[in-house]
Amino acid sequence: MDFEQNTNRTKEWFVPAFGPLKFRTFIGLLFLPYTGMVLAYTVIGSMMAERIFWDRVGAILIIYFLGLGIGGHALDALGSKGIKPWGEVFSRIQLWTLVIASLVLAYAIGIYYIIVYTPLLGVIALLEGFFVLAYNLEWFRGCFHTDAWFAISWGSLPVLAGYVLQTNLLSWAVLIVAASMGLLSMVEIKASRPYKALKRASSDTLTMVDLSHMQQFEMILKGISLGVILLGVGLFLWRWLI
């Protein structure tokens, strides 16, 4: 298997093995385990509020699924320099259509809640809008395309967004939880980068040690994504049932 073949990620563990290529590629493009982590972060932040507005929980989930799950990852495919991990299945026009449609819908929902209920969410919306472009398109020579900014933008800020949409406030407790979720995201991206590098390498150059490391990184990614998602689901059920 040569390098060009290895850049195609349709055989990743989070991509379904069934269905047409375009369907499998679209599901892969969403990076559902990692998108699920970010959605769980918004739930974790939301569940920290004293009073839960359940429509706002649904709203923040939709906002981040559209903005990051679809828009951000489509931008990432557009911004990939020299490497097209999803091949030519989607054209640039199709990817830009996904980006524009998803971000417009996400911000339409967000602006409604900002105007009517939680103006403080506007600060987070501006920051996330900047990061979704600067990180994925590698603006400013890629200075925001780093592990630290990844952890802040897709780990800490979603927690704050969930809490702020419920309360229009910040607290020391939620800031600490946001920092902890940012650190979990740091672990995820630190495991993801060498994992992707090993996956891209030619099979002829991989040693048994490389294959072992790749399996270890994959287990870390599976474990941390599932663990965070289950934490979000557990907190959701706890607050829903009490």
Ranges 76-85, 152-161, 194-203: which has the least confidence: 76-85
Token pair of 112, please? 């409604």
Supply the pTM of this predicted model.
0.93
Q: What values do phi and psi take at 48, rounded to 5?
A: -80, -10
What per-residue confidence (pLDDT) applies to 3? Answer: 37
Question: What pLDDT score does 198 carry?
Answer: 86
Task: Determine the Cα–Cα distance for residues 101 and 122; give it in Å rounded to an integer.
Answer: 20
Q: Are 191 and 199 in contact (CB under 8 A)?
A: no
Residue predicted with more confidence, 209 or 99: 99
Q: Which of 190, 156, 145 is nearest to 38 (CA)?
A: 156
Per-residue pLDDT averaged across 192-208, rounded?
Answer: 82
CA atoms within 13 A on the CB side of 225: 19
Note the pLDDT of residue 209.
86
**Token digits of residue 204:** 């002829």
How far, in whole angstroms, is CA 239 from its chain's centroid? 24
83 pLDDT band, cuts 50/70/90, is low
Q: Give the per-residue pLDDT at 82.
A: 55
Question: Has residue 7 got a pLDDT over 70?
Answer: no
What average pLDDT does range 138-167 have in this prediction? Answer: 95
* CATH classification at residue 112: 1.10.600
Domain span including residue 215: 3-241
- Pick from 6-20, 173-187, 213-227: least confident: 6-20
Q: What is the pLDDT of residue 171?
A: 97
Which comes out higher in pLDDT, residue 208 or 234? 234
Amino acid at 168: N
pLDDT at 4 over 60: no
* Overall number of domains in the chain: 1
User: Which residue from 193, 122, 194, 189 is spatially nearest to 160, judged by alpha carbons?
Assistant: 122
Whether the pLDDT of residue 88 is over 70: the answer is: yes
Count of other CB atoms within 10 angstroms of residue 221? 21
Q: How far is CA 99 from CA 31, 74, 234, 239, in A?
A: 15, 6, 31, 34
- Residue-wise pLDDT for 37-55, tens only, equals 999 999 999 999 999 999 9
pLDDT of residue 2: 39
Mean pLDDT across the chain: 92
List, for residues 14-35, the tens digit of each pLDDT value.
999 899 999 999 999 999 999 9
Q: Percent of the chain beyond pLDDT 90?
A: 75
Q: Are 87 and 22 in contact (CB under 8 A)?
A: no
How much is the pLDDT for 1? 36
